[in-house]
Chains A and B, each alone.
Chain A
Amino acid sequence: MEVKSLELNTQQLMEIYYFMRLGRAIEERLELLYKGGRLPGAIYLGRGQEAIEVGASYALEPGDMLAPTHRDMMSQLPRGITAKEIFTQHYARTNSLTRGKGEDNYQGDLKRGTFATVSMLPDFYPVAAGAALAFKIRNEKRVAMTYCGEGATSVGDWHESINVASVLNLPVVFIVINNGYAYSTPVYKEMKVANVADRACAYAIPGAVVDGNDVIECYRETKKAVDRARDGGGPTLIEAKTMRMRGHAGHDPAKYMATEIIDLWTRRDPIVRFENYLIERGLLTDESKREIINRINAEVEDAVRFAEESPYPEGKEAIEDVYRG
């Protein structure tokens, strides 16, 4: 099968930039809508995580499977999930991917290679390992990838699934986004290891720490892991060090986060860093950047309008589709 190379070409770099910018624009719009009381439910923002969200997911190919969490909407953009689908989902409309059944970021589409997540963490670690098991049984050259935050690494499922995936040598890539906090709990209250990825040796699999705000590094390390999995080399654990730049959910002002920390990580903004990279290589100018942002803003506004004009499901649909058949 045709796979991407480790070195990204111009078109791919610009595509990654588009997804990062689109992700941020969607989240900024969601934040406004939430604060304005326009959404029926919650929002979970991954602002600051654009590099690992897009960079890791971009390493997958069509046919691979992505198993994200509620904060990883941006990772679904390279899988083909659209702004319209994200807004209809948040607006709980009948034409959303879950027809109003699932909440905020819980959209997915198996055909486009991304599961619809659940709240319990890291429940999709086992699910991704199971998808990888199916690929292995059928001798398919497909890879599963799953995300969780460092908070979810305290849960037994996390250990169980990585261990089993190692024992069975499954084609799966485990991503941990270490974003500093599990809700309000800082990392130092979650674990004593310096790096989550250090635990990889306990499962006899490769582990890597990446700069979670450097999209090129996120892509390259993940890409190596995806290639290794596809070639029969088994699972990899990747930890991306980054920062959750908002509270746990929309209602959380995150006053437990020191402003100095936020200021520090603002200066490390993954989008600004990637823009500088592109500008240095002559791939982006102020003018082309403005053009891209304008295009994305129009796309987002169009999606919001589409969602607002979309109908709600009918109440009686609440008891439909509990079972297949």
Chain B
Amino acid sequence: MSTAGNQKGTSYIDAISQALWEEMERDPSIFIMGEDIGIYGGAFKVTEGFIDHFGPERVIDMPIAEEAFIGMGVGAALMGMRPIVEVQYADFISCGWDQIVNVAAKMHYRTRDAVPMVIRGPSGAGLRAGPFHSQSPEGWFAHVPGLKVIVPGTPYDAKGLLKAAIRDDNPVIYFEHKYLYRRLKEVLPTGDYTVPISKADVQREGDDVTIVTYGAMLQTALEAARRAQEKGISVEVVDLRTIFPLDKDTILNSVAKTSKAIMLYEDTRTLGIGAEISAIIAEEGFENLDGPIIRVSSPDAPIPYSPPLEDFFLPQVDDVLAAIDKLSAY
């Protein structure tokens, strides 16, 4: 994947820190808990300086006990707090799986009690971090009604969606793509803003092919679109931003315009988000299609460590261009 260099403005990671800081200033019921988030400032330094400003009562270092402190987030949320749980890497969210899918996700359905909590963690590959520090677990949670799942692709969306997630009365899983943390910058508005959950964004308009993507793959899609344009192919890029519940309308409207659709996602292929969107397009947009729906994804394998292996594993710009070429034949 590629990102444009030398940008000015706020980095993706600073946008996340700003959202947390500003929300904690705004609402005393918000607190953060997780591993090494206090004096150390978090494994990626998202909460650096937070404990000095907000104190150890609101920036709570936890032992290695994800199941416990995710469950504690549910209990605190039910008591009217708005906890934010940091899992050090998104991969480790599996250690708290049960509390998320059985306790948090099903509470409101049964009792109509709100569970306003955010569980956030750095996801994604590209950093030579191997099978246990590179996963994109959003698909696991997109299969759980009661949860909302967000993977922002830009600093603007990272900040605005995190604020929206914190203000939402439902449990929200928020995955930050760590490859983007310090590689992507953008000039952000100075004032307070939110980005609506469950609303996709057309990042680039085009007429010939639609790429539906999210997370770090947004940059891959945009680069492929630039290169396709050189060949005279106009590509529209839809950034999902929220993985679940999905914004079907934006996807279907784009496909109605271009008649061709590529699903680009970093998660593994089978039952990934692209598989679901393919089904939606096939069911609800079939008459608009001029060619097959193509998935460009990671293969059904764990994420390898060695650079040539990981590069092979991850969807590259050339893979997207090949899919665009294939669809251009229709």
Where the two chains meet, the residues of A that have a C-beta atom closer than 8 Å to any C-beta of B are: 65, 67, 97-98, 101-102, 106, 108-110, 115-116, 118-120, 123-138, 144, 156-157, 160-161, 163-164, 167-168, 321-325
Contacts and interface: CB of A to CB of B under 8 A. Distances in A.
A321 B108 CA distance: 6
B106 to A, nearest CB: 7
Nearest to B64: A160
Contacts of B63: 160, 163-164, 167
B146 A129 contact: no
A161 B62 CA distance: 11
Contact of A324 (B80, B81, B108): B108
Interface in B52-108: 57-58, 60, 62-63, 65, 67-81, 83, 98-99, 102-103, 106-108
B110 interface: yes
Those 6 A-B pairs whose CB atoms lie nearest each other, nearest first: A130-B75, A126-B71, A130-B72, A160-B68, A134-B79, A127-B75
Given A120-B102, A126-B72, A164-B63, 18 more contacts: A101-B110, A108-B111, A110-B113, A118-B102, A123-B71, A123-B99, A123-B103, A124-B103, A126-B74, A127-B72, A130-B72, A157-B68, A161-B65, A164-B68, A324-B108, A324-B112, A324-B114, A325-B169
B109 interface: yes
Interface string B121-149: 00000000000000000000000011010
B75 A324 contact: no
B146 A133 contact: no
Contact of B65 (A108, A138, A160): A160
B60 A168 contact: yes
B71 A130 contact: yes
A61 B77 CA distance: 21
B69 A164 contact: yes
Contacts of B83: 130
B71 A127 contact: yes
B171 to A, nearest CB: 10
Contacts of A120: 98, 102-103
Nearest to B107: A116
B79 A131 contact: yes
A157 B109 contact: no
Contacts of A119: 102
A135 B109 contact: no
Nearest to B70: A126
B112 A321 contact: yes
B76 A133 contact: yes
Nearest to B71: A126
Contacts of B99: 123, 126-127, 157
Given A116-B110, A123-B102, A160 B75 contact: no
A307 B70 CA distance: 36
B170 interface: yes
Chain B CB count within 10 A is highest, among A97, A109, A137, for: A137
A133 B72 contact: yes
B111 A322 contact: no
Nearest to B145: A322
B186 to A, nearest CB: 29
B85 to A, nearest CB: 10
Q: Which of A116, A124, A126, A321 is packed against the most chain B CB atoms within 10 Å?
A: A126
B72 A161 contact: yes
A140 to B, nearest CB: 9
A290 to B, nearest CB: 38
